Amino acid sequence: MTEGDHTTVNDPHGPVNSGPGHQHVYYGVGADWMARKGVSPLRIVRDDRLHLADRFTPPPGFRIAADRLEKPGSVVLVDAEPGSGRRAAAIMLLHGLGEDGGTDEEDARFEELPVSDEDAAPLAVGDGDRFLLDLSGIGDEGAYVRAQHLLAVRRSQVQEAGAHMVVVLPAALRHAQVPDLAPHTVTLGRPRGVAVVTRHLRMDRMTFRSTDLLSAELRGVFDRSPMGELARLTRLVRAARDSDRFGTDFAGWLDQAMHAVTDRAAEVGRQMTTITTTPARALLLATAMFECARADTVYAAWRGLLRTVKHEEEATTELARMDFGERLATLGIERDPDGLLRFDRLAYADAVRTYFWANFPGVRDDLKDWIRDAAGLPDLTVDDRVNIVLRFGERALAVGRPAHLFDLVAHWAGGAMRGVCDPRALAGLELGLSHERHGIWFRRQLYHRARSGPLTDGLSRVMTAACLHSLVVTHPDQAVVRLHHLAVREGEAAHEARRALLDIARGDRRLYRLLIDRLRARTQRESPGTGPHLRLLVELLRSDRAPDPPPWPDLFLGWEAVFSQPPAEFWSPMVRDWLDAAAADSTRRLGLEVLVGATAGRPAALHRLYAIACGWAAGSRDPSRTAVATHFWQRIDHTQYTRADGSERPDDTGAGSPTTGEAR
């Protein structure tokens, strides 16, 4: 059970985060680099849940909550202290429901609901859906009152649909909880720390004895530390083992990890009392930010930091000063055989970064400007640059400066070459979206930028990638809303947003319906036949864009909206596309009947359908085309010559089916 830690890894084969801490896995090279989904505080996709389940230790009260949740339509509210792993417990309650209940994990919906978002789409709930609503980050009583109103609506929807929902309550606002929620609330305790650590270590294939975990110092850590710190302890043990720098036995690795968890902050504080010059402090921070980069790169970053904070150069020449290697040695910084710099103590760089951001608030703006330029130093690899962004972002978010991170995202994205998604910008934006406390700030920023805010093609491209790879996993409805706004803007990047939006909708029938509803509503407010929403709707309604099997009721509503809009040239390719599909697959012939029905008494649209089919059939001698066209014409005739009450209209012309080229 883990909560609230932040970790970055770059090894796709290594273990991922054992709880809802920041952990990102990146793949790719150069301009084609793309950030892939990793575990983050909001990600509750199946692989991440399975990984968490392997390491989860049920707390007291968990079984009571699980029993209550089993009933369809159930809502369970979790009340627990911060640091007890309450969010992880909520995820595991829902995950276990799917496993125990035999739900098909590939089809079962498992989604986190937004706490409050003005543009959130109406929630469509289905039988067996599972929802997480995490209110634990709310600190304002007014916001909690509003959240409880939203909770009441969601609770009613979940109960009526036979779904399941777990809500994590804010412990500091128990006094503001409405009495109606008390019968649905289960109090969870704190799991035994030694059990949590033991399970994590065993899942990491660590060889140890139970007596290795019995020291008084360890017992104090187990009894008092938040679950996130215990998970971090086990990751540091693994890091010490894998580094080959701290011995070959478990006792040595554990000792290093314990010092990293309990002593590093104090060690940095003591070191800072002995380092009083700006160059020495700047070098300490530059190494912490660029750890495991080449020495020459760290040197360049260090000099850049000195310029940014306006440190005056020493009067003497460089040859007369302390050499770079000696400066490193005095700070406890090692240069390995490959020329890469690192601290001689485990996790010391993390502690240095934390110290500077916590204790030098007046230079945070300068640090942002420094990283803006330093993250582009020429000798850095893509992984180096991403690591630097994540290190900066974690510190900026920890001290409540999400705008600092987004400013850098916008800067890097805006300066990218045409058609390139800047990896630094994407990494920073995904980090922000995944943050437990500031994720809502980033989602709102994306919404306002996508809808009407200032937007370069580069930033639009990064926002599209973040929606496609991150936001759609955690908040799919919001991803659709933001991509929709991006897709109808001007510019080259809007084409990429349209492709991403259409791909997402095709893969999810609920999102397909949501997008059709949004586009239908907006085509009615556009000038006839000229708006971007109509063009997007026509593309969405093509045969190859529809989910399989096609959702005929949704297609009917979409086609009905399209056929009400002139000119027909917009939707003629869509009709031909469905004729092609019907000729290739007989199961798609039902679509032709739905097409005809969607004309909804519009003779001009019906005539145009006939003319399109005539031209389509005349363009080939394929017998299957003739058969499809004949079937289509018959449906058109039946619709045109049938009254609304079902009786046939008299044939005043004496003609049968119109011939090719006639506009009926």
Backbone angles phi, psi at 652, to 5 degrees: -70, -25
pLDDT per residue over 387-414, tens digit each? 999 999 999 999 999 999 999 999 999 9
User: How much is the pLDDT for 15?
Assistant: 29
Q: Which long-range contacts (CB under 8 A, 24 or more apart) does 153-156 make?
A: 154/113, 154/123, 155/75
Rounded Cα–Cα distance for residues 568 and 421 (Å): 37
Residue 527's pLDDT band, with cuts at 50, 70 and 90, is: confident
Report the chain's C-alpha Rg in angstroms. 30
Angstrom distance (rounded) from CA 649 to CA 638: 10
Q: Supply the pLDDT for residue 315.
A: 62
| Mean pLDDT, the chain, integer | 85
User: At residue 40, what are phi and psi to the nearest 5 degrees?
Assistant: -150, 175
**In 3-state terms, what secondary structure has residue 562?**
helix
Average pLDDT over every residue of 163-178? 95
Place of tokens 């406390």: 437
Q: What does the pLDDT look like over 590-642, one tens digit per residue?
A: 999 999 999 877 888 888 999 999 999 887 778 888 899 998 999 888 887 76
The DSSP H or E segment spanning 494 is: helix 492-506
State both tokens at 130. 């599972």
Q: What is the amino acid identity at position 191?
A: P
Mean pLDDT for 655-659 is: 32
Percent of the chain with pLDDT over 90: 66
Residue 132 forms beta bridges with which residues? 112, 166
* Mean local confidence (pLDDT), 37-48: 50
- State the pLDDT at residue 620: 77
Separation of alpha carbons 599 and 431, rounded Å: 47
**What pLDDT score was predicted for residue 601?**
76
3-state class (DSSP) for residue 134: strand
- Rounded Cα distance, 29 and 32, in Å: 6
Sole residue written with tokens 């020459």? 296
Label residue 656 by pLDDT band (50, 70, 90). Answer: very low
Q: How confident is the model at residue 531 (pLDDT cuts 50, 70, 90)?
A: confident
Share of the chain above pLDDT 70, in %: 86
Instruction: Say how many Å lie between the first and final Cα of the chain, rounded.
Output: 69
Cα within 13 Å of Cα(217), Cβ side: 9
Q: Answer positive or negative: Cα dihedral of 564, 570, 575, 577.
A: negative
Helices 439-451, 402-414: inter-axial angle, 10-degree rounding: 40
Residue type, 444: R
Model confidence pLDDT, tens digit, residues 463-519: 999 999 999 988 888 999 999 999 999 888 999 999 999 999 999 999 999 999 999
Task: State the pTM of this model.
Answer: 0.84
d(CA 103, CA 126): 13
Residue 485 backbone phi and psi in degrees, to 5: -65, -40
Residue 535 has pLDDT above 50, yes or no: yes
CA 328 to CA 275: how far, in whole Å?
Answer: 13
- The DSSP letter of residue 49 is H
Handedness of CA 346, 352, 354, 359 (dihedral sign): positive
Taking only the tens place, the pLDDT of each residue in 323-381 is 899 999 999 999 999 999 999 999 999 999 999 999 999 999 999 999 999 999 999 99
Which is higher by pLDDT, 36 or 158?
Answer: 158
Alpha-carbon gap, residue 355 to 442, rounded angstroms: 25
pLDDT at 277: 94
Is 77 in contact with 83 (CB distance < 8 Å)?
no
Please compute the mean of the pLDDT values over residues 431-456 and round it to a whole number. 92
Per residue, the 3-state secondary structure of 597-612, as one string, reads: HCCCCCHHHHHHHHHH
pLDDT over 70 (residue 244): yes
Residues 566, 130: Cα–Cα separation, whole Å:
42
